[in-house]
Amino acid sequence: MLIGIDLGGTKIEGVALDHDGACRARRRVPTRRGDYNATIADVRGLVDAIESDLDARASVGVGIPGAISPATGLVKNANSTWLIGKPLERDLARALDRPVRLANDADCFALSEATDGAAANESPVFGAILGTGVGGGIVVRGQLISGPNAIAGEWGHNPLPAPRDDERPGPPCYCGRSGCIETFLSGPGLVADYLANSGREGDARMVAMRAGAGEAAAKAALDRYCDRLARALAGVINILDPAVIVLGGGLSNLAHLYEELPERLQPHVFSDRVDTRIVPPVHGDSSGVRGAARLWRADERAEAVRTLSEVDQ
């Protein structure tokens, strides 16, 4: 049995998968924002409840909105700021009495879709999150790529490629720079662009609905969004040359992206043609938590469960 935990900003979700990938149990609790000790306790509570439901021990993988610094072992780059600087992996392992594997939530998304999702049996795979933030993960031959800085796939904090005059210097980003891809391609980025050009407020879903109803300003905002996304993904293709790019996050539900991106990519990719497929996820919002469960390989899962058995004895 494999347990995955998705440590989100509004909820903490846990699932148990069997070795065929079928979901055997699912639970969730609200995130107690700002309280690190409560986060540890809530993860332990979810794992205990799931194992009690199934009367089985399991390995545990956790997707987090940040990364573990290889240099310090502490959380960095987390928009759930109460986790920053904390030894989360160590504290969860202590609370759960077993080894715990952690990874960025975008990495977990990519691993899930590359394992039994939209990019199963493909390589390389790039998972691109387009939501409140913009992140990414890379999977090669079934293995998640992290890198010495634990930032592989973090395309959202590169500058938007080939910026037009009206895109310079770009919106300020929380990372301290301006004009990051995230400031243009996140949900808030789309909304801010629409507001600036129309004077109308709304969320990303409302912009899409207004565009579908024929509103010119909303259609223009989505056109700019698609153009910027094509430029940003072309940079990924030029470096990684993935077989498949899987889009995740709320904006991955914009159906017209999959229709327009192939043609829009071509002028920006250093090739005579672009054969990279861009696809929606199979597992949708569940991909992150499913990928967290799969952070352990089969041999490592056995070792993790064996460690728990030794503790129980």
Q: Based on the number of CB atoms within 10 Å of its own CB, is 205 exposed (0-12), middle (13-18) or buried (19 or more)?
A: middle
| Model pLDDT, residue 311 | 46
Which regions in the chain score pLDDT beneath 70? 298-313
CA atoms within 13 A on the CB side of 66: 23
> What contacts 86, CB < 8 A, 6 or more positions away?
36, 74, 75
Q: Give the domains, in start order, of the chain with CATH numbers.
A: 2-105+286-312 (3.30.420.40), 118-281 (3.30.420.40)
* Token pair 């352990």 in the structure block, residue: 296
Token digits of residue 146: 């992290």
> What contacts 301, CB < 8 A, 6 or more positions away?
2, 59
DSSP-assigned letters across all residues of the chain: -EEEEEE-SSEEEEEEE-TTS-EEEEEEEE--TT-HHHHHHHHHHHHHHHHHHHT---EEEEEESSEE-TTTSSEES-SSGGGTT--HHHHHHHHHTS--EEEEHHHHHHHHHHHHSTTTT-SSEEEEEESSSEEEEEEETTEEE-TTTT-TT-GGGSBPSS--GGGSS--B-TTS-BSBHHHHHSHHHHHHHHHHHH-----HHHHHHHHHTT-HHHHHHHHHHHHHHHHHHHHHHHHH--SEEEEESGGGG-THHHHHHHHHHGGGSSSSS---EEE--SSGGGHHHHHHHTTS-HHHHHHHHHHHHHHH-
Decide if 238 contacts 250 (C-beta within 8 A): no
| Model pLDDT, residue 303 | 58
- What CA–CA distances, in Å, run from 300 to 2, 60, 78, 83, 297? 11, 11, 27, 26, 5
Q: Please state, in angstroms and rounded to a whole number, the distance separating the CA atoms of residues 94 and 17.
A: 23
| Residue-wise burial string across 291-308, b where 16 or more C-beta atoms lie within 10 A, e elsewhere | bbbbbbeeeebeebbebb
Whether residue 169 is preceded by a cis peptide bond, meaning omega within 30 degrees of 0, is yes
| Model pLDDT, residue 313 | 47
- What CA–CA distances, in Å, run from 245 to 126, 180, 274? 5, 20, 12
| Model pLDDT, residue 263 | 96
| Model pLDDT, residue 9 | 86
